[in-house]
Structure 1
Amino acid sequence: MFQGKKILLAITGSIAAYKSILIVRLLVKAGAEVRVVLTPSAKDFVTPLTLSTLSKNPVVSELFNEQAWSNHVMLGRWADVMLVAPLSCNTLAKMAAGQCDNMVLATYLSATCPVVVAPAMDEDMWHHPTTRENLAKLESFGNKVIPVDKGELASGLNGDGRMAEPEAILQYLQDHLFQTRDLEGKIALVTAGPTYEPLDPVRFIGNHSSGKMGIAIAEELARRGAQVELVLGPSSYHTQAKGIHIQRVQTAEEMYQACTGIWPTASLAVMSAAVADYSPTTKAKEKIKKTEESFTLELTRTKDILGSLGKEKQNGQLLVGFALETTNEKDYAQQKLKKKNADIIVLNSLNDEGAGFGYDTNKITIFEKDGNEIPFNRKPKQEVARDIVDRIVNMLYA
């Protein structure tokens, strides 16, 4: 995502400057060309030697020295984006007032590229009316402000004002400035949530799926430019993201009918819903009364949605399935990949902490039809969705 991008990182005097070292490292690792400019006070927290070593470029901190004049105008024109991280309360005030007494401010006032700031300050400073006014000014100038985190602060207090973590800052840049729309023109079918199989007008057979993972995948596909057809089971979660059309269903049969109707025109499908394998053979018209000590329920297998789409898959279509297992996870995932004629199986195990139904995180392993097995660490489901869509894009354009 950052390959070939030119990032100008401006560091100001804040204890959060230590995080900027990791920002440089992550950007360079992602393929960006990074140059760093410091305020004089920033050098009390990070050294130019460290930053020049990591960025592989000289670090600029003075408007001029005995040897040369630093061309702040060219720096501001060179960059694809200027990132001020951390942005101290002092530099914020100077930027809002248009002051120009150091290299960072001179470069900011000369920049023709987008400017993104990541504030860092103590809670009382963050909530002060002057700070709010200065931030509003910066945004009115067209600058983007990355939200602060809440947590332990340098003062020892716990509250708002922590600079966003380096990974979150990179994700912000990606989402707001460098997002590629590599799925433009593609129709993506996504299923999410559980299905409810009714016993009577009151009771049903269901599962604990929340639909969070499937919704996150649908949103990521839409961000990449796809027109998403989201077939959503009875989940309390929803999305208002642009590019997503939601079709609500309740039962496995309704989900089957919706998916088989969409699949012929779709470029790809991600079957992340937890579809019931069995449904009551008969549905009582009235509520079943508790009259006997025991109750026997006859079940019938539901239609295999993933398998049905696999049988109808055409050249150029890509099919992704999910496997939630408790034992022999790898074997079952590989068997499912072949049996269902899928291109990708995403495995998650209930044995992994923070994975499975209801969590905001997930831990997955991706199995691909060419034999690739790619494990991932536990991550928020939005990041897991990006990992899955990255593999989809890679396979579509291989």
Structure 2
Amino acid sequence: MLAGRKILLIIGGGIAAYKSIELMRLLRKAGAGVVPVLTRAGSEFVTPLTVSAIAGTRVQGELFDLTAEAEMGHIELSRSADLVVVAPATADLMAKLASGLANDLASTLLLATDKRVLLAPAMNVRMWEHPATQRNLETLRGFGTLVVGPDAGEMACGEFGPGRMAEPPAILAAIDAALTTDTALAGRHVIVTSGPTHEPIDPVRYIANRSSGRQGTAIAEALVRRGARVTFVTGPATAPRPLGCEIREVETAREMLAAVEAALPADAAIFAAAVADWRVAAETRSKIKKQPGAEPAPLTLTENPDILKTISRREMSRPGLVVGFAAETDDVLANATAKRLRKGCDWLVANDVRPETGIMGGSHTAVTLITDAGAEDWPAMSKDETADRLAARVAEALA
């Protein structure tokens, strides 16, 4: 899909800029044209001469270039590309884009483009984990910005953790995916559930699960990219809602089940939501007060409807493919295999969510896909990559 495509490559100021040289080589080998934009900080790590030689064209870097700007060069650059790629995407560039700042050529191009933007973040682990960077990341995802990586590993600074820029072959694959016009799911309707549910105890308290909704959002977007019509049923998740979907907001498990049933019929249903298993039998209309010297107010719990099992065992309007998720902390494979049989779903995606894995609410995951054919371990990857792989398997199954 890359032959004849034009990539606008913005090279940010980080040690990972050296990888952009290899990325340009791979792009040109695949038949793509590359227009490089080197930030002032980026030129501290790779020289304009090297970048120009590998790209085979002039390096862009100055916003106030008299000749270029006489023809509104920054607008032309931003619109003539098929895709804008930022590699490395530094914390500074991400913050500028999230905030709408444009004080140099790179940031101006990112605001002026009408094409999709793919970021390959690269920074120190503490910078990546800082709440400001994570807030900016969520904002950018909400804009529809694509993200590949970062990987976890040893940093140039000697620290270890997430923040390493994805390797050039992985970025190349993400570029190819972003430019692929896939109609494998055209005409298909898929229901995706996402996020937690909140089960009220009183007007200010509730029972919930630790779910950000990131995986469900990524799955919905991957299905939309393949041409599917997606009904996205979400609890009160912190993740941005996916673009191109019909969004149905719910709060409780009972509301989620009702929304799913109302969305039927569907060709497939993917239940990625972390649904609370129990709710309070009798929600109080007033806040429960602590009474000095008194025992805590007892809470009588009752079981919530089992959404996955209910849909899997429907006799009428059952989706042709039902996919469940299992977040497990012990004996992951055994428990997830038993759950698939107990629920009656076709596939079950299992992951280990012990606190030390950092998966619950994080940006990466490692899952096992369980089907009638057995268990298939997938390598650790970003939730976007996991979603894309799952969507491709759904397309194959429905074909």
TM-score, normalised relative to structure 2: 0.65
- Match of 1:208, SS state, is coil
Aligned length: 318
**Deviation (angstroms), 1:392:** 1.6
- Match of 2:59, SS state, is helix
- Judged with a 3 Å threshold, the aligned counterparts in structure 2 of structure 1 residues 135 and 197 are, in CA distance, closer, same or farther, namely closer
- Judged with a 3 Å threshold, the aligned counterparts in structure 2 of structure 1 residues 226 and 236 are, in CA distance, closer, same or farther, namely same
- Judged with a 3 Å threshold, the aligned counterparts in structure 2 of structure 1 residues 225 and 355 are, in CA distance, closer, same or farther, namely farther
Query: Runs of 5+ in structure 1 lacking a partner?
Result: 28-33, 37-54, 56-78, 99-111
**Deviation (angstroms), 1:244:** 0.8
- Judged with a 3 Å threshold, the aligned counterparts in structure 2 of structure 1 residues 311 and 141 are, in CA distance, closer, same or farther, namely closer
Matches of 1:163 and 1:174 in 2, distance apart?
Answer: 18
- Match of 2:313, SS state, is helix
Matches of 2:81 and 2:252 in 1, distance apart?
Answer: 51
Could you say what the CA RMSD is over the residues aligned between the two structures, in angstroms?
4.4
Matches of 1:138 and 1:205 in 2, distance apart?
Answer: 41
Contact 2:89 2:119 in 1 (8 A): no
**Deviation (angstroms), 1:82:** 2.5
Q: Which moved more, 1:308-317 or 1:278-287?
A: 308-317
1:359-374 equivalences in 2 (<5 Å): 359-371=362-374, 373-374=375-376
- Judged with a 3 Å threshold, the aligned counterparts in structure 2 of structure 1 residues 143 and 93 are, in CA distance, closer, same or farther, namely farther
Q: Deviations over 1:122-143 (max 9, x none)?
A: 999xx9xxx9559979999999
Partner of 2:186 in structure 1?
A: 184
- Judged with a 3 Å threshold, the aligned counterparts in structure 2 of structure 1 residues 338 and 150 are, in CA distance, closer, same or farther, namely closer
**Deviation (angstroms), 1:16:** 5.3
- Judged with a 3 Å threshold, the aligned counterparts in structure 2 of structure 1 residues 86 and 337 are, in CA distance, closer, same or farther, namely farther
Contact 2:185 2:226 in 1 (8 A): yes
Matches of 1:137 and 1:199 in 2, distance apart?
Answer: 49
Matches of 1:8 and 1:204 in 2, distance apart?
Answer: 51
Partner of 1:82 in structure 2?
A: 33
Partner of 1:63 in structure 2?
A: none
Matched, 1:258 2:249: no
**Deviation (angstroms), 1:379:** 2.1
Matched, 1:92 2:51: no
**Deviation (angstroms), 1:173:** 2.0
Partner of 1:269 in structure 2?
A: 269
1:321 to 324, 327, 334: 324
1:108-257 equivalences in 2 (<5 Å): 132-133=104-105, 149-151=121-123, 165-167=167-169, 169-239=171-241, 241-257=242-258
Matches of 2:363 and 2:348 in 1, distance apart?
Answer: 20
TM-score, normalised relative to structure 1: 0.65
2:343 to 340, 344, 359: 340
Matches of 1:140 and 1:279 in 2, distance apart?
Answer: 49
1:323 alignment partner AA: A
Q: Which moved more, 1:253-262 or 1:83-92?
A: 83-92
- Computing the radius of gyration from Cα coordinates, the structure with the larger value is 1
Q: Which moved more, 1:230-239 or 1:265-274?
A: 230-239
Q: Percent identity?
A: 32
Matched, 1:351 2:366: no
2:33 alignment partner AA: M
- Judged with a 3 Å threshold, the aligned counterparts in structure 2 of structure 1 residues 16 and 333 are, in CA distance, closer, same or farther, namely same
- Judged with a 3 Å threshold, the aligned counterparts in structure 2 of structure 1 residues 365 and 23 are, in CA distance, closer, same or farther, namely farther
